[in-house]
Structure 1
């Protein structure tokens, strides 16, 4: 069924929705079916939802940009001496070189709005199917707003010079030019609240009613809420949602060298709570540009793990096996090595170890230091570290959690965001200058075409 839906997605909705965040319309394809027509039957709504998942694979989101750029923008990577030019700007944080997916996010949001509305209105469909459709769409809309909020705005309470604008909020489908009103950006508080509300609603609809690891699911909704509350520094909520995500996932941490070494070759990754399934044959949008060309010697090999990153792994750490040395002597990550062909490595979006690290950080912030060390040890002992980290100093524990997040989550889209959410200066790779937290380059640039077309849309400061 999914293969069938992928094949009809372009025909139904893939090119009829709107590109700009403020409703500016793309040219409509003459062979496309009106999405309002697609909303009238279950197959059409499923096709729109399939397009939402396809957009998640876009190179502007988790097909590449949000997964790899956070490492390049910080200190987890160096540039290979010979590059194609890709990521050269991000490696030195040149003005405008950032994580940019504004238009892709709003295409996704508009499609989710069609699904949410259609799921309520379609006749002759079982309630559990309606709930599942709506829950998956709400999850993806909340995911998009969370990504927009943390990329284009500051976290609440971390604003620089009072700048609190984040993203435009739209919760109804934009069908035509009359719907495409020129809106201003909402505050960071409002955007994070929108993401939170969407994920909480998704949680209710998906409990006992989801399709598993490759789709928006109940455990993943808890996990993403745990991550969101970590960003908001709502420590109690972060712990609670992380605990439920661990329980609901039914997963356990891998704890032997062989399994940890091979985890990123397994489909799905045995620790994935949510995983992006990459299928280049059936991928209807052709947007599957992948990660491995940017970290693998078989392809462009522009970006390599930094010496600074490799130095944080102890010699006994099983995760040393996630790295290898290319024929030219430079290191590369085996997380995305194109072992089965170009552009087709699955992308784990949320993995189980992150939940323990969220709990460790949140417990430490609440001065529950024993519980913080317990959660940290869960990950470190599973990864082969035989001497537990011990400290009675809150700041030292948090510092160790941050180092552990580098070890565990490198090349999975976290490093830049982890530093930013804690209002830290951004350390850089060799030859690049650190980026102070109050530097305007902490926030991404909005597409200038959107700003030029919408008098109510303010560009981020400094651009």
Structure 2
């Protein structure tokens, strides 16, 4: 794999020295730069510092793939003439796909190195509890990286130890392992992490419940693997078991105000978030969150050339799911997730450009205080991942100025709301519907957080839960994997739901219509729908990976679990 060869070139020791010295602002990391591997892991603080990098830098090049794969393929994001993802025209040379592969394998390499160095290099003064905690953090992120790899590319090689592979000189000979074995490896890794992690870690860091919540999601996904029309009950039961443990024992709660989850001050360390990438603006490139630049309206941060998202936005299909119509003079604001997810004409946000009274989505010079450009022909723009003005909003949130392509906003990977819906779906299992009180309780907790006046739902179906998940996690890089999970055991239904989505745009001057210059009769939907096959649920390996290791194109083989200790 690409990163294996990278390690062969620069050496694992150099990589781990980077983990000890980069992104020094994150979690109070000091700036010492005179350490070697042999003298670094000597204190408990240094051991924690070694894992700090796992929360940001190796994931950096996955940021675009995270959103484009997770939401464009899912039918949530429209990108105009950039049609590769929304039209399923992906090929093995796609830059974002190449970067995603490199990033995820880099995460695996960093995690393996932290695990090995904690075991072999930590000083006598480091307590077993700290060794276990840091190792458990690395194992959880390792499992997370493999969970993405498995759901994006299917069968992939299991690299348990980079140093062993480098020492044996077999980096370019690796075969893919059976997808069933990849999931088994993910589960074993998380089970070991759960044994090692404390119930309460330092603020913002992974704890036992983080790993349990992720394991519940893995079990729910695996329940359909290799099945036909129904799911394996043993994995549904395990998903339910681990989700319920998190629900009963984890002290965190749902954030009452949904939009608060996506603000630095109220969301970065919110107890609802079980796993997050924790970005920081520092002198080390890759420590920061750059997603805002891809999705925010042009001119939205007050920094010239910082954002270019005016022709990217939210699909008509996702608007329809929320009951929205961009041509309607009224907005459906009963679901607070709608406005926190998509910005539509005349929407006002008091947390954007707050230093001048907030931002209203119009072209009126008195209200369009950012001088923003409105261009996407679906009539809706993305909101999540946006901080706003570099000083008026970013500095107001945490005291630090935003910078070009750089914010401190955390990216949430697993929230407690996800665990609630996993639990409800695991209870539903293979039934057509359920009135189970526990499933309804936690489903309604998520739904009524977003729609406080909504009547409780009294019966659940798979489609009801699926659609609720799409609204809850839209533009969070996750919805595509729900379709992948469904494709494992009901591929035709997954295809049907994707193929019926409206991925087109409005034809005509929709912004002229908003300004009263164009009649509604002059606006029409330029419909576009895809026709995907079963094969489209697995993405192509990047050419660069195939050229470095031609064995990736061969049939997968079993993994020998006797070669690892768990």
TM-score range normalised by the length of the shorter chain = 0.7 to 0.9
Find the aligned partners of 2:119 and 2:191 in 1 and give their Cα distance.
18
Per the alignment, in what secondary structure is the counterpart of residue 89 of structure 1? coil
Which of 185, 201, 206 in structure 1 is aligned with 2:176?
A: 185
Report what 1:333 is aligned to.
382
Report what 2:516 is aligned to.
none
Could you list the per-position Cα deviations for residues 381-418 of structure 1 after superposition, in whole angstroms to 9, with x for gaps in the alignment?
A: 22225122333xxxx61101011011100011122111
Report what 1:174 is aligned to.
163
Report what 2:220 is aligned to.
230
Could you list the per-position Cα deviations for residues 422-453 of structure 1 after superposition, in whole angstroms to 9, with x for gaps in the alignment?
A: 01113451254434341x33212212222223
Could you list the per-position Cα deviations for residues 130-157 of structure 1 after superposition, in whole angstroms to 9, with x for gaps in the alignment?
A: 111211111111111111111111xxxx
Find the aligned partners of 2:410 and 2:6 in 1 and give their Cα distance.
33
Report what 1:434 is aligned to.
530
Contact 2:67 2:475 in 1 (8 A): yes
365-374 vs 270-279, which moves further: 365-374
Report what 1:377 is aligned to.
444
Report what 2:423 is aligned to.
359
Q: 1:104 to 1:260 in 2, by over 3 A?
A: closer
How far off its partner does 1:172 sit? 1.6
Answer with 1 or 2: which has the greater Rg.
Answer: 2
Normalising by structure 2, we get a TM-score of: 0.67
Instruction: Give the aligned length.
Output: 413
Q: 1:387 to 1:319 in 2, by over 3 A?
A: same
Contact 2:59 2:107 in 1 (8 A): no
Q: What does 1:102-251 align with in structure 2 at a 5 Å threshold?
A: 102-121=101-120, 122-124=122-124, 125-153=126-154, 166-174=155-163, 177-181=166-170, 182-208=173-199, 210-213=201-204, 215-233=205-223, 234-251=235-252
Could you list the per-position Cα deviations for residues 111-137 of structure 1 after superposition, in whole angstroms to 9, with x for gaps in the alignment?
A: 222221222223312111111121111
Q: 1:167 to 1:398 in 2, by over 3 A?
A: same
Q: What does 1:86-105 align with in structure 2 at a 5 Å threshold?
A: 88-96=83-91, 99-100=97-98, 101-105=100-104
How far off its partner does 1:218 sit? 1.4
Contact 1:75 1:308 in 2 (8 A): yes
Structure 1 runs not aligned, ≥5 long: 1-18, 154-165
Contact 2:147 2:186 in 1 (8 A): yes
Find the aligned partners of 2:555 and 2:543 in 1 and give their Cα distance.
10
Per the alignment, in what secondary structure is the counterpart of residue 350 of structure 1? strand
Report what 1:157 is aligned to.
none
Q: Does 1:421 align with 2:421?
A: no
Report what 1:42 is aligned to.
41
Find the aligned partners of 1:105 and 1:260 in 2 and give their Cα distance.
29
Report what 1:161 is aligned to.
none
Q: 1:418 to 1:37 in 2, by over 3 A?
A: same
How far off its partner does 1:249 sit? 3.4
Find the aligned partners of 2:550 and 2:79 in 1 and give their Cα distance.
39
Q: 1:453 to 1:68 in 2, by over 3 A?
A: closer
Structure 2 runs not aligned, ≥5 long: 18-34, 224-234, 301-306, 324-331, 345-360, 363-373, 389-393, 395-401, 488-493, 505-526, 557-566
Find the aligned partners of 2:37 and 2:117 in 1 and give their Cα distance.
9
Per the alignment, in what secondary structure is the counterpart of residue 324 of structure 1? strand
How far off its partner does 1:459 sit? 6.7
Contact 2:277 2:412 in 1 (8 A): yes
Which of 343, 346, 350 in structure 1 is aligned with 2:406?
A: 343
